[in-house]
Amino acid sequence: TPVEAPGLKLSKIGLIMLGVGDLARAVAFYRDTLGLPVAQQIPGFAFLNAGGVTLALSEPLAKNSPSRVGATELVFSVEGVREAYEALRARGVVFSIEPRVVNPPMWAASFADPDGHRLSLFGPERKA
């Protein structure tokens, strides 16, 4: 029988951790290409500020996982999908799915990080 914990509700994700094969390469992508600030780095780990949630990059997680990439996608909320798409393309990001309407009036565009983790942009087509 499960242990009862009256009133317990998990209601906030504080950190998302991705396994990465090369920490320096992953940090360069998320910091320099995507623009997420690095809050802290310790051996094997980097912690980036992702607007209310911390994105952790972990070499040990990758080394201790049977597969690095699964049915997971990180979705970045943006004010204008087309503007973010053009800016990231100019920084060398290759998109697997071009900007498209997914749920009018919302648009999305999909790409991957250097380890193959699925990422996407989501928001209105253009900034208001």
Give the pLDDT confidence of 14-47 residue by residue, as tens digits: 999 999 999 999 999 999 999 999 999 999 999 9
Q: What is the pLDDT of residues 57-116, one digit of tens each?
A: 999 999 999 888 888 999 999 999 999 999 999 999 999 999 999 999 999 999 999 999
Give the DSSP per-residue string, 83-120: HHHHHHHHTTPPEEEEEEEEETTEEEEEEE-TT--EEE
Residue 2 confidence (pLDDT) above 70: no
pLDDT tier at 3, thresholds 50, 70, 90: low
Q: What is the model's pTM?
A: 0.89
